[in-house]
Structure 1
């Protein structure tokens, strides 16, 4: 039986503007989870270097993620909000995990292949080892649950592989320091130091696609700003982007089956459903048979109703960077206290003299 104390960990990378997809797919879920779980939410600024080494505004981007967390409703006093680089244990444990993980495991990571593209030889080692750092982010706090989307499931499986190999390779050492927990891996009892992390999937996660191409995810890196609704967009920008969103000549169907083969229509209906906490079927009952010229203004109005309070609070917080920095420093102090315990015990288990 798993006796690890339940703990949720997740993070967002501070690269580019946060958009509607980030909110619906991640941050809104973070807010809901804090009502039932002990949570640690991180701004993973070390991961940002894998996307781009030199940033003109990494500090500002880091503050904007923290502001979004708080504006969306995360309680930074009850839970922990901090930025990754303030806690050195993330990098230290990542090195241990680099030595635990196998090259074959890393070669199977499809996200590296997607991000590196055809010229993988010129990609950074950091991008290649990204999943090992992600594993250290989670296991540094011995977190038991992580809310994940489809694109991160493979990395979470790798985290479990790393935890299992560490537990098995150091089984005698773990018992010697007396810090493990008896769990079952499959049908086998294991005295484990690190938990076998479980994904948290609360219903079907909304998959928000580009407003310009319904076959691609809404992305911070898309060169077209019209492809996404940013959390900091004003009323006119949101209305303009929804109005210009790509559609097809047909009207809205009355049933979900009618969205098949219509990615842009499916995306806009899905966004409306997610924002209103309804199903696509519910939305089509209301709008089925209508043209997009009638549906888009309703979608704009709904997006503004949901996002405006968050946007206003984000702007207020971003005008007070000292407050955000204080929140992150306080969170880092509390995170560091937990991380330091883990790293002392890992050093004992591995055999480092300190």
Structure 2
């Protein structure tokens, strides 16, 4: 029996942080043995907002290194760069013209969040990128998409577009489904635990970057927002800061929330934060040792090899799509 296929990716922009790792990448690592895995550096998504070309080149390599240092195994998974496969943008155009509707994109909450009150001046790409994301997913006959809960709306759009295409032109596209890790799907900001940790946050106190100096990361944890109480208890509504730190330590140490609550019973918040900080420090030291051992040349070869391996699937699906719509 063949394995189901998964696809996911990360933009090479901003500072990838432990929220990205715990909410997404670590889940990919756990799924490698069970699924045929495809992981992409989605560089065309990054250019929906202005990027420095030289910095973007560095970030593409950095993201691929993070994949590898996190445990993505090139022997078990395909890692490639989105822009290496022209079918991504080609398929997005077909979906734009055949199945996507303005009403679909007007509902996308991430566009509203990113554009704010400046919608008239943002790029068309930022408005339309959910269609490119749908193309990314559907292009490889993806069956499962491991995502954070903030991306669930985009996977639902991909499902809708694939269904509409099949309804209009005949069954040719696989309908994907989302898979969300319940704990860790949304790691919150250290300085504001009511909002998601963000790699584009204005303050570096919000996140712990995977490339942060471990000593700096410890200080960020010690300064993290909690509350005026004293009990270390998991209660996201009443104690969002404490709950967020509990989730971080739980996932990094593979210890249940219940066991951590017992560990810190009767302890002060300072002791609690110190424990979380030590877990984060240990993780970063181990992660960065692996990250620093990977060369740029090694990454470029892995990305090139991945694109060559995945290209035939994209060509086949795109060929079938072209036949269905009458251009081939």
TM-score when normalising by structure 2: 0.95
CA contact (8 A) 2:227 2:242 kept: yes
| Residue 127 (structure 1) aligned with residue 126 (structure 2) | yes
Q: In the TM superposition, what is the alpha-carbon distance from 1:5 to its structure 2 partner?
A: 6.5
Q: Which moved more, 1:27-36 or 1:267-276?
A: 267-276
5 Å matches for 1:322-337? Answer: 322-337=297-312
Cross-structure match for 2:228: 249
C-alpha distance in 2 between matches for 1:61 and 1:288:
42
Cross-structure match for 1:14: 12
5 Å matches for 1:122-161? Answer: 122-161=121-160
Cross-structure match for 2:89: 91
Q: In the TM superposition, what is the alpha-carbon distance from 1:271 to its structure 2 partner?
A: 1.2
| Residue 348 (structure 1) aligned with residue 323 (structure 2) | yes
What's the CA shift string for 1:9-63, capped at 9, x where partnerless? Answer: 0001110111110100011001001011000000000000113344441111011
Cross-structure match for 1:280: 257
Choose from 65, 68, 72 the match for 1:67: 65
CA contact (8 A) 2:3 2:36 kept: no
Closer, same or farther in 2 for the Cα pair 1:261/1:203, shift >3 Å?
Answer: closer
Cross-structure match for 1:234: 213
Cross-structure match for 1:214: 193
Give secondary structure in 1 for the equivalent of 2:164: helix
Unpaired runs of 5+ residues, structure 2, are none
Q: In the TM superposition, what is the alpha-carbon distance from 1:112 to its structure 2 partner?
A: 1.0
| Residue 201 (structure 1) aligned with residue 180 (structure 2) | yes
What's the CA shift string for 1:68-97, capped at 9, x where partnerless? Answer: 111111111332000100000000000001
Give secondary structure in 2 for the equivalent of 1:80: strand
Unpaired runs of 5+ residues, structure 1, are 172-191
Closer, same or farther in 2 for the Cα pair 1:131/1:142, shift >3 Å?
Answer: same
CA contact (8 A) 2:149 2:185 kept: no
Closer, same or farther in 2 for the Cα pair 1:140/1:68, shift >3 Å?
Answer: same
| Residue 310 (structure 1) aligned with residue 280 (structure 2) | no
C-alpha distance in 2 between matches for 1:75 and 1:262:
38
| Residue 301 (structure 1) aligned with residue 274 (structure 2) | no
Cross-structure match for 1:45: 43
What's the CA shift string for 1:165-203, capped at 9, x where partnerless? Answer: 1101112xxxxxxxxxxxxxxxxxxxx211111112344
Closer, same or farther in 2 for the Cα pair 1:217/1:202, shift >3 Å?
Answer: closer
Length, aligned pairs only? 327
CA contact (8 A) 1:4 1:144 kept: no
| Residue 292 (structure 1) aligned with residue 269 (structure 2) | yes
C-alpha distance in 2 between matches for 1:294 and 1:52:
43
CA radius of gyration, larger in: 1
CA contact (8 A) 1:252 1:284 kept: no
C-alpha distance in 1 between matches for 2:241 and 2:53:
33
TM-score when normalising by structure 1: 0.88
Give secondary structure in 1 for the equivalent of 2:211: coil
What's the CA shift string for 1:192-243, capped at 9, x where partnerless? Answer: 2111111123443442111111111111111211221111122211121112
Q: Which moved more, 1:24-33 or 1:75-84?
A: 75-84
Q: Which moved more, 1:237-246 or 1:141-150?
A: 237-246
Closer, same or farther in 2 for the Cα pair 1:204/1:266, shift >3 Å?
Answer: closer
| Residue 166 (structure 1) aligned with residue 145 (structure 2) | no
Give secondary structure in 2 for the equivalent of 1:217: coil
